[in-house]
Structures are given as structure tokens and as C-alpha cells.
Chain A
Amino acid sequence: MARLQRKARLQHPAAWWLWGLGLATAASRTTNPVLLLLVIGVCLLVVDERHDPATVNPLPAFLAIGAVIVAFRVVMTALLGNGIVGETVVLTLPSVPLPDWAAGVRIGGTVTLESLLYAAYDALRLAAVLACLGAANALASPRRLLRYLPATLYDVGTAVVVGLTFAPQLLTDAREVRAARTLRGRDGRGLREMARLTVPVLETAFERSLGLAASMESRGYGRAVRSTTTSRRAATGLALAGLVGVLAGLYGLLDSSAGGVLGLPVLVLGALLAGSSLLVGASRDPRSGHRRDRWTWTETVTVVAGAVPAAVLVVGSVQGWEGIVPSQRAELPAVPLIAVLALLVAATPAWLSPRPREVAP
């Protein structure tokens, strides 16, 4: 069968971000290390195959932050404990006697494998969610996503751009400032050094973000020629309400203790509100597109590929399948096959989506 050579193009950024959110939802519902590592693997694979070559790949930075989180949690658990009582003692640290009023707290003492595993699994979950965000960032830069935000939501849009460019910029600037510090005879290590670096790094990144906002302003972003003040306010109000709804709903979904039943309706309501604000805004949007990204079947496939693991793991965690929340015993946790398959579905966009544009170095 002759295969159609699809033209190299970037997928619609919304598709990749929905995919990333789906995968993040799935990751947030489990603490099974096998499943979580699988999520990270899927992110790495898809990013490796399909990331936008025109931007710096931010995934390694996100993974590094994740690794730091896991290490920090494990070390803190070893030192302070986390209330998990286990039988397998790994080592015994010299313990610091504390007065009675601090009865709930301990420093040092026995370190059990169970408590360490619990901390590691829990931190790994956060690392996996971060990996999903990093992957979405790498696959479709937030700036491209912003092009689809209606101009009526100008204020929200500028804030979002400043926010989204701030974090990646921070990493670049941190590297530059640290290099510059060595020119003053400091090698940029140690806590005091870190504290000193903070101010110039924040300042540089902030200045740059402001410069970008000024540039967008003077290049006509947010021109709402045909809209009236009332409709703009209505759209902004709807958008804010929708955003709050989406956030509350996501919180409900991500935090299983808050109850998924509470999460879903709020999320749907919020999404509806946000969606309608987009419609109200877009109907008066005078902007047009040069090579606007199209929404074709590959975009739909990508979104579905992200939604499948989310749905499966939400159902799994609500019904309490074995292995979704593994025991902390020193054994390989049971791995629900259907969850693994669902996560593998999320990897399919690595091949099904079109190859990204080629950018000369």
C-alpha cells in the first residue's frame, strides 16, 4: 500500500496541550511507579519525535526539577519520617530527642523502606505531572497557543504570555547570570550564592517579559476595533469565571480526596463558561491568520490519545483497581494491564501526527 507522504507541519497547539493535560490527569490519579515511569517515557518519546525544532526543548529542565523533587522528598522522609509505620528497617539514624509538646515530630531514628517508598512514589507522581507539562511546552510553544486566544481577552492574554515566557526565560537567565558570577570570582555554588543570584535572575527575566508585553502592545495585539466596551467586559468576565471553574474542577479531578464527582461537573461548567467567552470574543475578533494551524483528524487523534489514559485512570482510581495505588511493600507492585495499554495509547501521536516543520539551524 502506498503511504501518503504528509506535509511537514506543526499540529494545532491546542491539540498538544489537551493531550498533555489528559496525560497529566492520568498521572495524577496513580502512585504506581511503573505507570508513572511509563508516563514519563511516553512524554520523552513523543517529544523526541515531534517537538518543535524552532524553540528550545524545555522538557529536560522539567525532568530535572522532577528529579530534585523526588530526591528532596526521600531525604526529608528519611530525616523526619512521614507517619508511615513500616516493618522493614533500612537504617537507623541517630535520633534527636524532642520535648513532649513536639510529640508528633521526630528527627532521625529508624528509617523504614515503606515510608521511603511512599515518599518516592508520591513525589514521582508530581514529577510525572511536570513531565507532561514540559512535554506540552516542547510540542507547542505557549506563544503559538496564545494566537488562538481572542483579542478581546487582551488583558488575560498579556498576563498569560508574560507568565508563560517567564519560566523558560528564567532558566536561560539563571544560566547566564551564573556564568557571569564566575567572572566576579564566585563559582555560584552554596546557599548564599543562590540567594544572591535570585534577584538579578528575576529582574532580568522580568524585564524581558515586560519587553515582550510592550512589543505585543505596540504591534497591535489586543486591538479590538469592532467590539464595544460592554462586550469586552462580558467576554473577560466569562473567561475569568470559566477559568476559575476549570481550575476548581481540575483540582477536584486531580485531588482524589476532594471527590471526582464534585470535580467533573465543576470542570464541565467552567469549560463551558470559558468556551462561551472564547466564542463571544472570537465573533468580534478582527484578527486573521497567516498559515493558521488547521484542525484535521490527526489533531482529534492526539486529543483522544490523551483523553483515553485520563478516563481509564480516573475510572480505575474511583473503582479502586488493584495497583493504581500500590502498597509500599518492597515488592514490584501489581500493574493493571488496562492502565498500561491506555498509557501506551497516549504514545501513538509520536507516529500518527505529522512531522513538525523543519527549521534550519
Chain B
Amino acid sequence: MITFEHVSVQYADAPAPSLRDVTLQIPEGELVLVVGPTGSGKSTLLRTINGLVPHFSGGTLTGRVTVDGLDTAEHRPRDLATVVGLVEQNPSSTFVTDVVEDEVAYGMETMGLDSTTIRRRVEETLDLFGLTPLRARALRALSGGQQQRVAIAALFAAGPRVLVLDEPTSALDPVAAEEVLASLHRIVHDLGVTVVLAEHRLERVVHHADRVVLVDEGHVSELLDPAEAMLRSQIYPPVVGLSRLVGWSPTPLSIRDARRKAAALRDALGTSTPRPVADLRVTGPADAVIVDRLRVSRGGRIVLDGLDLAVARGSVTTLMGRNGAGKSTLLGAIAAQHRLVGGTVRVGAGGVDPHARSARERVRTVGLVPQQPELLLYADTVAAECTAADEDFGAAPGTARGLLDRISGGIDPAVHPRDLSEGQRLELALAVILSGSPEVLLLDEPTRGLDYGAKKRLGEMLTGLAAQGTTVLLATHDVELAAEVADRVVILADGEVVTDGPAREVLASSPAFAPQVTKVLLPQTWLTVAEVAGALARIA
């Protein structure tokens, strides 16, 4: 269906090619998962399939890419639209119309299908993706998960033989991600559509994949069996980590397969050691953030209604919940980004009201890294950004730069912030905010676009900050990150706190938010591979 013959891509001004000599054949009706670290060339590989690279992006492509017999050198992306549909990372920026139903019909209109066919396929597609209740909704009012489903539905409706998706579940909560993957599974299995997708959150997708392609620094492996690929890959989900630790073979990819093999491990852990003990982090009194009967409305809709929350000094607290549950709004309200309708917010040991302070004073108490970290960045180079940050926060020269070096795995200071990968941008934004050394650090969905390595560094850094007394409050969908770092998990639904308790208790008892290791080893409540490894080492 899709053939790459000695394909290399070199962007202008780039020091190294993004893809090197890729030869690959993807057969029809397969769900192919593209796995690789951030910046390894995954997105480039995906975008060559419909010709956006190089027709739209610029750069030089050598070799040949053919899709369904059509050579992308001779056919522009718009001519390939009947064959390939591409869902971008951020669907909201790609919507061409304003309403769900129009968006679904758009592709078919440009293809010139007759109106009865369009009418019929719009209905079918809305049903297939469970969008019928949303058909008359405005696109900008939908939650992230709904937008993602609309974007996939809109492309699918046009009837392409190949669907290409770049990080389709990164921004979604676990349940919404399951919904998206279930609809993909259905179109692959029932309708024979070929699906190629790249995703960092392997724990969500790897068991859905028929084939896996590994990408590293522009080198692309051949089509691999998923279990075999997970043995070789440098990035892997926790369940594979567990399997590597214990030496299961063949490597289980789904929770179900792993549980079948896990009985012996459970016995070993259960009899030889007592229940896992949480690392006790020394936390101070619960007055770092005090939110009292908070009411916030956005766009005329009450998002938070009478919310109470108190966070202990020096703790790491994770806010979880569905897309649109009010997590970002809560963080924004604490950082005085949104006006309050009612209630109070007090931050820091001094009980500062962030809404009553000027921005300059506020940043000493509370720092927020927003969901789109690029909004914080405006200089031409990373180095200039760091200098500006020192100025903004009145920090000693070199503070931001030092922080950045500690946080990141080495970022070239001469690069433009917009040319950084998503993970590096987050690290830069974090360094900027931390140069104000705030008492309370808020992070809004920090793991979007991060590979496991970057996520691990982030986790270590947050743990280190908490140990130094900084209070961390982060909103995330990433249960594995929460399992790594959180002392406490608060689950929001419709602007209210529905669950609040120690991380281990909350995560282990929630079917949606339990991490993979917990699911495999239930009823024992281990959260991470590292915990299990530690326990096994003690036994031995």
C-alpha cells in the first residue's frame, strides 16, 4: 500500500538529514505504529506519506514514496487526499469550518461527491465515531478528546485508503484515548483501512498495533512484530519494562497477557516482602495552596463550582480527570490567569492572595508552566531567552541558563525556541519559570510530546524540587508520571473534587487511572517498575 524506496529527507539549514535511506513496505489493512524518541524523524516520516514533505514543508526528498501506486513526487498532497488522510498533532488548528457536521462533510465536498452520498456518509461517520450528539456543536467549544475524534472522523469520511495520525492520544485522558483507539481498531478490522500512527504513550497503543517501525536519528527499521520490536526498542511501556525485569518470553504487550504470566511474580513479591511502603516524603502543613469555595466561569459557563482544596508544603500533587473537567482552569485561577466569580485562593507560607498582587510580586509565590509552553517564549535564541528570564525575575545572571542545563539533556543555546522539539520547549519554559524560584510550581499537562527519557528527567527534577521544599501541583493525563512522582492524587469531574487521597490508594483503586504495573499485579498495589525492581533486589 505504502512503499518507501531509499528515501532521505534533508531540510534546508538542517545539519543532518531527518530521514536516511528509508526502505519500507507497508501492506494494506495494517495498523502500523511508529516508535522513536522525540526529534527522531517520526513526524517527517508520516508527512512524507501524503506529500506534505516536501511539497508544503520545503526540503529535499530523494528516493521514491508511492501510496496506492501514486508517486508523491508527481502528485501534490491535494491530489493524494482521496488516498491518504493526515491527522495532525493539534487538531484544533486544522479545522477548516466551524461546526462538527460541516467539518465532516468538508473533505467530501472538495472531492466532488454528490450530495446524497455526502449526506449518507456524514450520518454513517457520525455514528461510527459516536459523534451524533455533537453534530451541531461549535468545534471550538469541544474538549480535546472530542476534537481529536472529529478530526479523525472528518478525514475518514472522505474515504481514504490510508489514515496517518501524529500523536492522536497525547492530549487525551485515558478514557477518551481508549475511545479514539477503539474507533481506529474498528476501521482497520472492519473496513481494511491502513493506519500509520506515531505515539509516545506506548502503554496506550502498542497492544493495538499489528506492526511496529522503530525510528532513531532518521534511521528506520523494517516492519517488526510488536513483541520483538519492544525487545529491541530503547523506549518501551511499563508492562514491557516489567517483562524485561522478570524475563518473560514472549514479551507480553497487553495487561491481559502480562497477568497470565504474573502469578509467580505476585507470589514472590507477596510472600517475601510486606506490602510496598510509600517513600515518605517530608511534607509540611497543608497551607501551600488553599482554595476555598472557588467559582470560576469561562465563556459564560461555570467551570469550577465551589471547589475546596488544600495542598501540603513540599508535596507533589497530581490533578487528574477527563478532558474539560476544569484542571487547567483551576491551575489558571491559582496563578491569577482567570478572574474568580467567588471564593478565595491563598498561596504560599505567607498566605498571599495572587489576585491582589501585581504580576511581578506574584511570580515569587506561584509559577505556572502553561499547556502551550511556547507562549512563554519570545526571544530569538535559547540563550537570549535565558538572559531575558533572569531580567524578568530579577535573578542573578546565568540562573536560567544553569537551571536549563540541569533540567535538559543539553540544548544548543543558539537555536530558536520555536525550532526546539516539544519536550525541549517545555524544559526551556520550566527553566524560565523556575528562575523566579516560586514557592509553588504549577504545571499544566507537562508530558505532551515527551518521550520516556524526557519524562524520566522531568520526574526526577520534580522530586528534587519537592525535596528542596517547593510545592508542586500538576495537571496531567499521564498516569505513569503520576505513579512516578505524586504523593497525592486529586481527581476532578465537572469542576468538583470527586476523589482525593494518597497517590497509591487513588491510582490503584481507579480503573481508568491505574498504571500498568498496578493493573498487572493487582490486588497488590505496586505503582512502578522501579518499585518492583527494588523489592526483588531486597528479596535476593
A residues sitting closer than 8 Å to B (CB atoms) are 52-56, 141, 143-144, 147, 151, 154, 176-177, 179-187, 196-197, 199-200, 203-204, 207-208, 211-212, 214-223, 225, 285-292, 357-361
Contact = CB atoms under 8 A, between A and B. Distances in A.
9 contacts: A143-B96, A182-B337, A183-B363, A200-B377, A219-B154, A288-B112, A288-B115, A290-B102, A361-B301
B111 A286 contact: yes
A222 B78 contact: yes
A290 B100 CA distance: 13
The A interface, classified by DSSP as helix, strand, loop or mixed, is: loop
Given A55-B98, A212-B96, A217-B56, A291 B105 contact: yes
A212 to B, nearest CB: 7
Interface string B236-257: 0000000000000000000000
A314 B118 CA distance: 45
B328 to A, nearest CB: 12
Given A200-B377, A220-B78, A290 B109 contact: yes
Nearest to B378: A200
A147 B109 contact: yes
Contacts of A53: 138
Contacts of B140: 56
Nearest to B98: A54
B137 A223 contact: no
A40 B170 CA distance: 46
Contacts of A181: 359
Contacts of B268: none
B393 A184 contact: yes
Nearest to A221: B110
A180 B337 CA distance: 8
B11 interface: no
Contacts of B278: none
A223 B299 CA distance: 38
A72 B138 CA distance: 37
A222 B75 CA distance: 13
A185 B96 contact: no
Contacts of B17: none
Contacts of B139: 54
Given A183-B433, A214-B56, A217-B55, 10 more contacts: A54-B139, A182-B337, A184-B363, A186-B360, A211-B93, A212-B96, A219-B154, A223-B112, A290-B109, A361-B299
A187 B98 contact: no
Nearest to B140: A56
B381 interface: no
B141 A182 contact: no
B392 A219 contact: no
A189 to B, nearest CB: 10
Contact of B52 (A187, A214, A223): A214
Contacts of A182: 336-337, 359, 362
Contacts of A286: 111-112
B375 A287 contact: no
A280 B377 CA distance: 47
B453 to A, nearest CB: 27
A361 B141 contact: yes
B78 A218 contact: yes
Nearest to A222: B78
B468 interface: no
A204 B337 CA distance: 19
Contact of B98 (A52, A185, A196): A52
Nearest to B56: A214
A274 to B, nearest CB: 22
Contacts of B375: 176-177, 180, 200, 204
B300 A185 contact: no
B110 A179 contact: no
B125 to A, nearest CB: 12
Interface residues of B, number: 75
Contacts of A143: 96-98
Contacts of B299: 361
A361 B359 contact: no
Contacts of A222: 78, 110
A184 B392 contact: yes
B158 interface: yes
B446 interface: no
A54 B138 contact: yes
A55 B110 contact: no
Given A219-B155, A361-B300, A287 B99 contact: no
B349 interface: no
A196 to B, nearest CB: 6
Contact of B360 (A185, A290, A291): A185
A42 to B, nearest CB: 25
Contacts of A216: 96
A130 to B, nearest CB: 23
Interface in B44-82: 50, 52, 55-56, 76-82
B122 interface: yes
Given A183-B363, A218-B78, A151 B335 contact: no
B422 to A, nearest CB: 13
Given A183-B433, A286-B112, A218 B82 contact: no
A185 B362 contact: yes
Contacts of A292: 115
Interface string B341-363: 00000000000000000111011
Given A185-B436, A200-B378, A288-B109, A220 B115 contact: no
B378 A199 contact: yes
Contacts of A217: 52, 55-56, 76-78
B415 to A, nearest CB: 15
Given A212-B94, A221-B78, A290-B108, A180 B393 contact: no
Given A185-B359, A214-B56, A286-B111, A179 B376 contact: no
Given A211-B88, A219-B106, A290-B109, A183 B78 contact: no
Contact of A223 (B94, B110, B138): B110
A131 B141 CA distance: 26
A176 B373 CA distance: 12
Closest 9 CB pairs of A and B: A220-B81, A215-B94, A286-B112, A290-B105, A180-B375, A200-B378, A54-B98, A220-B110, A185-B363
A221 B96 CA distance: 10
Contacts of A211: 88, 90, 93-94
B417 to A, nearest CB: 10
Contacts of A154: 78
A287 B109 contact: yes
A219 B96 contact: yes
B376 A183 contact: yes
Interface string B98-139: 110110011111111111001100100000000000001111
Nearest to A177: B375
Nearest to B332: A179
A290 B137 contact: no
A359 B137 CA distance: 5
B81 to A, nearest CB: 3
Nearest to B392: A184
B418 interface: yes
A56 B80 CA distance: 33
B215 to A, nearest CB: 21
A183 B370 contact: yes
Interface centre among A151, A217, A360 (most CB of B within 10 A): A217
A211 B56 CA distance: 10
B66 to A, nearest CB: 17
Nearest to A199: B378
A179 B377 CA distance: 13
Contacts of A207: 418
Given A183-B433, A185-B393, A200-B378, A290 B96 contact: no
B117 to A, nearest CB: 9
Interface centre among A183, A215, A216, A291 (most CB of B within 10 A): A183
